[in-house]
Structure 1
């Protein structure tokens, strides 16, 4: 079927209506939508949500608790956007719809607490430090996240003698403690190709969580802080595919997906053989936003002996949806269950996933370790210099 030209929205003062007017109601998004696949309800599809919120904005219908629940259930995976022939910007539509939803319905105390902590990465890291200590004593129902790794001591600093490029790395919010090892892996990989990685002070959460919760003001404040932190840096590498879009918007396109960046230098990476079977989970944001799936396969192909099993059970979406796994765990766990069953049946030694939220969600139920693909790659380096990571993020 030939792609239809993007429809021209009617002039309107409401950005939500302008975005919704691009939808031609063809329904091609329905088979791609995880929530529609699970429920077979029109209101749980992108087309249904667009029609519903369009009716609210036009005054043709009054918002209801049931209607809001359909909007809440959207995972923000943007798979619909990738298949839409009319060019509907569903990601922007969802942000605007949630913004208007928040104006009429106050967020829960849990949502407010999560947003507050994400905007204060240092406080969040401290809290997760206490969570690590208490973790062995907690019952399973009080373990919403896997146990955070032990705090790492700063490695001996060793940078390329004459680096040909200096890049920055984004440390995010919850990723700050959980991805310390991933940032070290990135620095080791970059050092082998004479690139130095720095972690500027002052950086913060990317704001995706806040934008998807409808708090546009908080998202804008975080974007401004990141713009200031990364000022003067030409390339900022992102390790979490779910954070990439917001950071790229904040720093005007200087954000580069770390997987794609390293794939461009794959011929210079010297790695040892690894006879192992790994499960590769492809986060929705990696498939639909950073679009680095091909780069991911090129990097893993550098490791001789590696047997890669793509984890695609169900719709392939794990259901984490940012804080959705914490606010509505039953809903999130339903999407995760087929992937966990596939992991158990496949006999893989570990699971790889390029998004922090997906890794945390999968790790809380996976029978095998879950890690970032770059950690596996760095472990196989034939020469692995200690990374020079510049200033530690605050």
Structure 2
């Protein structure tokens, strides 16, 4: 039996699809339509497919399922839609239906299990770091995890903390230096940070793959972990919406870039005569909207030259697990950005989303960092 989706207190998939007026303004901003030039690879086309399946006027087919799979979930379409179509809700609901029809692959289930079990994920990444030099290129789906920092991040006590930090799942194995950088910046702006140990994955990866039940369990875990906190800082734009929705009514979730930017007058940066490439993740532009804060912070660094990295189709192709499940296609979205990076003369690349950084770093030898990690290096 197909489970109902969305939940009873939200509009049905048919009602969500009916909001679309089929104007086509979404087509020029859709990365998959830009690459394939097929109607079925556009938001309008996918909405038509979902509505046909939901109303029973057409049966799902393997080719139709593939078009739904191919959506990157970038949400560019929502930013230009004159009818206010909630495409993100529609896509999430449709993928719940899809998962009931067609079970997830073994690789997808393993990825979901690992992200839901941070200790197992950390152990796997530790092993991956050790064996990485011995692996052929085709067996390196992610860049080599960095060595753990010699000095762990300083942690404030619960009584002293003014903000708590969300660390997520895969970021624990890759972003230790970023977390240390945020503590340094926090010290410079008078912000003390605590990191609850019992937090976990935001559930975004599971929700986007149609596993709403697991996503809800992860949300419940984080609600318990952040109980009693007022402000939770997010460092990954791809996690932000799921985390904010899950903690709504309990505490405020804020992008760390916005919080640091608000207190930027306390920061002093050394001169940095360097050309740096800046990639703006889809989730940062369309959901978190901390781009203004990011530009304001980078503008405070004397001598710094910023090169926008914006070639190609509007998305790097990481798209949650798609860089793992369909690496060839993900690389097609990434390649124009890598070509632009190589021609820019930049010495490093900055991006505010974990998945985007991992995907881009796996295609270049240049350092790829979160902007806050770079800004901490620039402190005078």
TM beyond 0.5: yes
Of 16-25 and 227-236, the range deviating more from structure 2: 16-25
In the TM superposition, residue 124 of structure 1 has moved relative to its aligned partner by 0.3
Within the candidate set 54, 59, 63, 2:60 is matched to: 63
Where do 5+ consecutive residues of structure 1 fail to align?
1-10, 383-394
Rounded to whole Å, the distance in 2 between the matches of 1:334 and 1:63 is 27
The residue number in structure 1 matching 2:16 is: 19
Rounded to whole Å, the distance in 1 between the matches of 2:10 and 2:230 is 36
Name the SS for the 1:195 alignment partner: coil
Is the alpha carbon distance of 1:306 and 1:14 closer, same or farther for their aligned partners in structure 2, counting shifts above 3 Å? closer
Within the candidate set 217, 221, 224, 1:225 is matched to: 221
Aligned residues: 370
Name the SS for the 2:21 alignment partner: coil
Is the alpha carbon distance of 1:155 and 1:121 closer, same or farther for their aligned partners in structure 2, counting shifts above 3 Å? closer
Rounded to whole Å, the distance in 2 between the matches of 1:153 and 1:15 is 52
Rounded to whole Å, the distance in 1 between the matches of 2:75 and 2:154 is 40
Rounded to whole Å, the distance in 2 between the matches of 1:27 and 1:59 is 24
Of 151-160 and 269-278, the range deviating more from structure 2: 151-160
Asked which structure has the greater RCO (Cα within 8 Å, sep 6+), the reply is 1
Is this contact kept in 1: 2:13–2:93, CA < 8 A?
yes
Within the candidate set 297, 300, 308, 1:302 is matched to: 300
The normalised TM-score by structure 1 is 0.91
The residue number in structure 1 matching 2:340 is: 342
Is this contact kept in 2: 1:352–1:372, CA < 8 A?
yes
Where do 5+ consecutive residues of structure 2 fail to align?
1-7
Q: Which runs of 4+ in 1 moved over 2 A?
A: 11-14, 152-160
Is this contact kept in 2: 1:110–1:327, CA < 8 A?
yes
The normalised TM-score by structure 2 is 0.95
In the TM superposition, residue 201 of structure 1 has moved relative to its aligned partner by 1.8
Q: CA RMSD for the aligned pairs?
A: 1.7
1:30-45 to 2 correspondences below 5 Å: 30-45=27-42
The residue number in structure 2 matching 1:172 is: 168
The residue number in structure 2 matching 1:6 is: none
The residue number in structure 2 matching 1:374 is: 372
In the TM superposition, residue 17 of structure 1 has moved relative to its aligned partner by 1.1
The residue number in structure 2 matching 1:80 is: 77
In the TM superposition, residue 281 of structure 1 has moved relative to its aligned partner by 0.2
Within the candidate set 158, 162, 185, 1:189 is matched to: 185
The residue number in structure 2 matching 1:354 is: 352
Is this contact kept in 2: 1:204–1:226, CA < 8 A?
yes
Instruction: Answer yes or no: is 1:134 the counterpart of 2:131.
Output: yes
The residue number in structure 1 matching 2:45 is: 48
In the TM superposition, residue 152 of structure 1 has moved relative to its aligned partner by 2.2
Rounded to whole Å, the distance in 2 between the matches of 1:223 and 1:12 is 18
